[in-house]
Chain A
Amino acid sequence: MIRNPKDLQRYTASERANHWVVGICFILLGLSGLVFFHPAFYPLADLFGGPVWARILHPYIGVLLILSFVAMFFRFRALNKMTPTDKEWLSRIGEMVDGDDHNMPEQGKYNGGQKMMFWALAVCVLLLAVSGILMWRAWFDFPVDLVRLASVVHAVAAAVMIALIFVHVYAAIWVKGTIRAMWYGTVTRGWAKQHHRGWYRQITGKS
């Protein structure tokens, strides 16, 4: 495999591995969770060896996601602090989506949209974790009113999180040269300069 030695390192191996563990858990949780979300998705249970296995496995995969997400949260928390520039970027997000990024303010390692994604996903995981434990009848038996509330929260947070991940994945597909950062950690200098100029300056020392 030939890689340009001048490419920029965006993610370390352990950051990538961490992201993959979270990603795999999320996909398995999404597929198994949808089984109970609506009958239209019930056939997805076959991927897990039937609906009973989907019911048994879902919460344990959830525990693994919580642990790996918490690790990822603390790795990237400091990089996701909102700044006034991020807010300006967000106010112009319509132009970006429309395919014109010429007037977008200069961004550091993450843009305002990515930071919003980070915090929104963190809130979703927190809600899903707490409500999921309240619903986990194999181990717990909480008061029924609490379980009812948890059931609503779990379904809402799950639907929101699936929507957020759709956006997350599509953004990575749309912005060419991004997905390689998830696979082997590097991006081209051109990519960095175009999409995250502040970060490009910071790590290359160039203007």
Chain B
Amino acid sequence: MALQSLDIARRSATTTPVPGARQTTEVAKLIDVSACIGCKACQVACGEWNDLRDEVGNCVGVYDNPVDLTAKSWTVMRFAEVEQGGKLEWLIRKDGCMHCADPGCLKACPAPGAIIQYANGIVDFHQENCIGCGYCVTGCPFNIPRISKEDSKAYKCSLCSDRVAVGQAPACVKTCPTGAIMFGSKDQMKEHADKRIRDLKSRGYSNAGLYDPQGVGGTHVMYVLHHVDKPQLYSDLPKDPAISPLVSLWKGAAKPLATAALAALALGSLFHYVTKGPNEVSKELEDEIEKEDAQ
């Protein structure tokens, strides 16, 4: 591990400890929705840095384009027109991976090393280990990963882990013309968010606040929202996201226990055979049949 910022906190489908001697600074991206003008420069920068060229789609009558995340569009702007207090509000949210502290994708992934959570908080997909099962899609509480139609691998925002590893901010942060996207240590970003929230409150947005949902242990992509009490307004940002209890049940203690039970059953059968002996046809019956044949 040459780069300290690439130290690993968690590795998918791995039951032994990961290298964890060093503690690195937790990073975070802060998206100030109130300062976003919806220019989509972040979408362009993302495609440019990551060398992705999604298919040019069609206009569907709204600004959203592409209309959804794909294997080649790791971030999209979602435009919502909502009425709040008798006024029209245009709420624009940059959607993409939230880099959860407790990532549902990583929990669900059956392929060792296909999903890595770095010690700095970035959750990264390693496509060379991906088997294309889509369990990450099943595990994600934010509906982020997309399976490529071309290679059946899962893709999503990497928080530009390659840039962060060498001390650079993610491409979307670098390019944002209004400073609506910021990057730094998670503590710094929270402090900055506090200032923004105070400002928004002074301007009449009494419910302004930070979106850093604790149901997934907090996230390494956070939003400043004018209406943090109603995140659903922002193109269905979930209110209390958490890993589904079904996913926890599916990936929890049940499987090692079931494995132990199956092993016990196999061993139990062996010892049953050894202690009780085989169930053979009785000697009397064999003799009876022989006598019948002799007659």
Residues of A within 8 A of B (CB): 6, 35-42, 51-52, 54-55, 97-99, 101, 135, 137-138, 144-145, 147-149, 151-152, 155-156, 159, 162-163, 166-167, 170, 173-177, 188-191, 193-194
Q: A52-B132, A137-B137, A166-B265 are in contact. Are A37 and B279 (CB under 8 A)?
A: no
In the assembled complex, which residues on chain B have CB atoms less than 8 Å from the CB atom of A163?
261-262, 265
Q: Does the CB pair B254–A97 fall under 8 Å?
A: no
B240 at the interface (CB under 8 A from A): no
Q: Does the CB pair B272–A39 fall under 8 Å?
A: no
How many Å lie between the Cα of A176 and that of B278 in the bound state?
7
Nearest chain-B residue to A51 (Cβ)? B131
Q: How far is the CB of A111 from chain B (nearest CB, A)?
A: 12
Nearest chain-B residue to A42 (Cβ)? B112
- Given contact pairs A138-B152, A174-B279, enumerate 8 new A-B contacts (beta carbons under 8 Å): A36-B133, A42-B112, A52-B132, A97-B272, A99-B276, A147-B137, A151-B246, A159-B262
Q: Does the CB pair A191–B281 fall under 8 Å?
A: yes
CB < 8 Å neighbour of B289 from A36, A98, A176, A189 = A189
Q: Does the CB pair A39–B112 fall under 8 Å?
A: yes
Q: A52-B131, A99-B277, A174-B272 are in contact. Are A194 and B249 (CB under 8 A)?
A: no
In the assembled complex, which residues on chain A have CB atoms less than 8 Å from the CB atom of B266?
166
Q: How far is the CB of A3 from chain B (nearest CB, A)?
A: 15
Q: Does the CB pair B282–A39 fall under 8 Å?
A: no
Q: Does the CB pair B135–A151 fall under 8 Å?
A: yes
Residues of B within 8 A of A (CB): 13-15, 110-112, 131-135, 137-138, 143, 147, 152, 244, 246-247, 249-250, 254-256, 258-259, 261-262, 265-266, 269, 272-273, 276-282, 285-286, 288-289, 293
Nearest chain-B residue to A101 (Cβ)? B279
CB < 8 Å neighbour of B281 from A35, A149, A188 = A188
Q: How far is the CB of A164 from chain B (nearest CB, A)?
A: 10
CB < 8 Å neighbour of A166 from B111, B133, B269, B273 = B269
Q: How far is the CB of A150 from chain B (nearest CB, A)?
A: 9
Nearest chain-B residue to A4 (Cβ)? B293
How many Å lie between the Cα of A97 and that of B271 in the bound state?
12
CB < 8 Å neighbour of A42 from B13, B249, B269 = B13
How many Å lie between the Cα of A36 and that of B256 in the bound state?
13
Q: Does the CB pair A167–B138 fall under 8 Å?
A: no
How many Å lie between the Cα of A198 and that of B230 in the bound state?
71
Nearest chain-B residue to A160 (Cβ)? B258
In the assembled complex, which residues on chain B have CB atoms less than 8 Å from the CB atom of A55?
131-133
How many Å lie between the Cα of A187 and that of B68 in the bound state?
63
Q: Does the CB pair B281–A190 fall under 8 Å?
A: yes
Q: Does the CB pair A99–B246 fall under 8 Å?
A: no
How many Å lie between the Cα of A195 and that of B138 in the bound state?
48
Nearest chain-A residue to B259 (Cβ)? A38
In the assembled complex, which residues on chain A have CB atoms less than 8 Å from the CB atom of B143?
144
How many Å lie between the Cα of A27 and that of B57 in the bound state?
45
Q: Does the CB pair B138–A176 fall under 8 Å?
A: no
Q: Does the CB pair B250–A152 fall under 8 Å?
A: yes
In the assembled complex, which residues on chain B have CB atoms less than 8 Å from the CB atom of A37?
110, 255, 259
In the assembled complex, which residues on chain A have CB atoms less than 8 Å from the CB atom of B265?
163, 166-167
Among all A-B residue pairs, the 9 with the closest Cβ atoms: A137-B134, A170-B269, A99-B276, A148-B246, A159-B258, A36-B110, A190-B281, A39-B13, A51-B131
In the assembled complex, which residues on chain A have CB atoms less than 8 Å from the CB atom of B147?
137
How many Å lie between the Cα of A97 and that of B13 in the bound state?
39
Q: How far is the CB of A184 from chain B (nearest CB, A)?
A: 18
Q: Does the CB pair B276–A98 fall under 8 Å?
A: yes
